[in-house]
Structure formats: C-alpha cells, structure tokens
Amino acid sequence: MNVIVLSWWQLALAASMVVALAGCTALARLGMSRSLLVAALRTVIQLALVGVVLEVLFAAERLVWVALMALVMLLIAGRETMARQKRRLLGGWAFGIGTLSMFFSSFTVTILTLTVIIGPDPWYRPQYAIPLLGMMLGNTMTGVALALDRLTDTAWRQRDVIESRLMLGQPWREAIGDIRREAMRSGLMPMINAMAAAGVVSLPGMMTGQILAGTAPALAVKYQILIMFTITLGTGFGTLAAVAAGSRRLFDSRERLRLDRLSLPRS
C-alpha cells in the first residue's frame, strides 16, 4: 500500500485554517470563535491520547483491556447522550436509560458481527473490535439522544393533550403513542438519510479512510456496506429501547403523567 505519511507541519497548516475560520466568526460576531477553538483543541488532545492507547491495546491484544476500553467508551457515550437533552429525566434516569439502551444494542450487534460475520482471530482483536464498537456507539448515541430529547420535550409541550387523553380513559401507551412514534422517527432518521445518500451524495467515513490508506475500493465498499447495516441495527434497536423505557418513566404506577421527573429546560 502506498500511504502518504502526514507530517506535523501539514497538520499545523490545517489547524491554521481552523484558526482563520475562528477569526472570521469573531469578526462576524457569531459568538462561536471560542467554542470552535476549544473543540479543535479537544480534537487534537483526545485523538492523540486515543492513538497512544490504541497502540498499547493493539500490542497487548488481551480481552480484559479491550473490555475496559469498551466500558470507558460506553460510559462517555452515556454521558454525552444525557448532555444533549434539553429536558432530561431526573435522578440519573437519562444516563441509565441511554447507557443501557446503547449497551444492549451496540454491544450485541458488535459481538454478533465480530463472531459470525467478520470472524477475526481472536474475535475480540482490537484492530476490528474497537473501531467497530466506536462507530456503533457514536451513531447509536446520536439516535438515542435525538429520540429522548424529542420525547421529553414534546411530552412537556403537549402535556394538556396527554392528560386529556388519560382522563378519557386511554391507557398511557395510547395517550403518548404519537409522541413515542415521532421520537423514534427522529432517532432513526439520521441513519436512514445516511444510507440513502451513501455513495451518491457522500462517501462514508470508513470507506474514505480505507481508500486513503490504500485498500482496494471493492473491499472498502464491502466493509462500508457491512458497517452501514450494523450501525443501522444498533441505532434502531437502541432508539426503540430508549424511547420505550423513557416514555414509561414519564408515568407512575397509576398511569398519571409525571412531568416533575423532568429537569428544567437547558439553555
């Protein structure tokens, strides 16, 4: 493979263009220059640290270290899911529901893909397990966060409608049924759009990376199709589970709407 090695000065040139963009946003008074620079700095630090960790992980190739890395990734994804919600469930429920939903969906699909479809030896080989799980968690995190945010915010805004339905004798599932369906659609829509536009509007990230690394386009396409399908599975099942658990938490045992279980709106 003929891979072009990037030097630090080339990365510094790319960074200088980001700094220039931050300057333009400052001149336009968008109030985003600081956020842009902080995000760029976090990208450099986080990816540099991950690179070091992966070097060690690839060399060790032990299940305990792969499991520890996967656990850290899951907990961070759960934290980010909670942070993206305007009105989140109180008492750690937003974190718990999001994290467990991602765990049961992403980990199940990842292990199934590694053991049945790809079949590396050993099955937990970090070169395959960590990137695949990372893509699964990243996309599932987005789907779950969007779905829970739509669920809680819409339930708050349409509380009068839900309570009216409850007073008319509808069970809680029917009273919030249309809101649940819209929340699920919100979580699934990004992946549906990504699959519909893959290869036509844009080349997906994994395929692009493999081609840049010298992999034959035909092989890169096969891996990308596999990744798109597995990510969609993880995102779909994770979103469905999160919305089902989150909507149940909005009602008590007597099927009363309990919006006091939601936090105040986040600015």
Q: Which residues span the domain enclosing 3?
A: 1-60
Q: Give the Cα separation of 60 and 120 in Å (integer).
A: 16
Predicted confidence (pLDDT) at residue 1 exceeds the cutoff of 60? no
- Measure CA of the first residue to CA of the last residue in the chain; give whole Å: 49
Q: Kindly report, residue by residue over 65-120, the tens digit of the pLDDT.
A: 999 999 999 999 998 888 878 888 888 888 899 999 999 999 999 999 999 999 99
pTM to 2 decimal places: 0.82
State the pLDDT confidence band at 203, using cuts at 50, 70 and 90.
Answer: low
Mean pLDDT of the 255-265 span: 84
Q: Are residues 29 and 84 in the same domain?
A: no
Q: Are residues 38 and 74 in the same domain?
A: no
185, 154, 88, 177 alpha-carbon torsion, rounded to 10°: -60
Q: Give the Cα separation of 51 and 57 in Å (integer).
A: 10
Question: Does the residue 247 lie in any domain?
Answer: yes
Question: Does the residue 267 lie in any domain?
Answer: no
Domain limit, last residue, from 9, 30, 60: 60
- Which segment of 57-71, 77-91, 210-224 scores lowest on mean pLDDT? 210-224
Q: Are residues 149 and 42 in the same domain?
A: no
**Secondary structure class of 85 (helix, strand, coil):** coil
Look at the chain and report how many structural domains it folds into.
Answer: 2
Domain limit, last residue, from 26, 43, 60: 60
What Rg, from alpha-carbon coordinates, does the chain have? Answer: 21
Q: Are residues 55 and 67 in the same domain?
A: no
Q: Are residues 194 and 230 in the same domain?
A: yes
Question: Is the peptide bond prior to 122 cis by the omega test (within 30 degrees of 0)?
Answer: yes
Phi, psi of 265 (to 5 degrees): -60, 140
Q: Tell me if 266 sits within 8 A of 94, measured CB to CB.
A: no
Question: Does the residue 47 lie in any domain?
Answer: yes
Q: Are residues 87 and 209 in the same domain?
A: yes
Domain limit, last residue, from 30, 60, 90: 60
Longest dimension (CA), the chain: 69
Question: Does the residue 158 lie in any domain?
Answer: yes
183-204: b (≥16 Cβ within 10 Å) or e:
bbebbbeebeebeeebeeeebb
Q: Tell me if 234 sits within 8 A of 139, measured CB to CB.
A: yes
Q: Tell me if 97 sits within 8 A of 89, measured CB to CB.
A: yes
Question: Does the residue 266 lie in any domain?
Answer: no
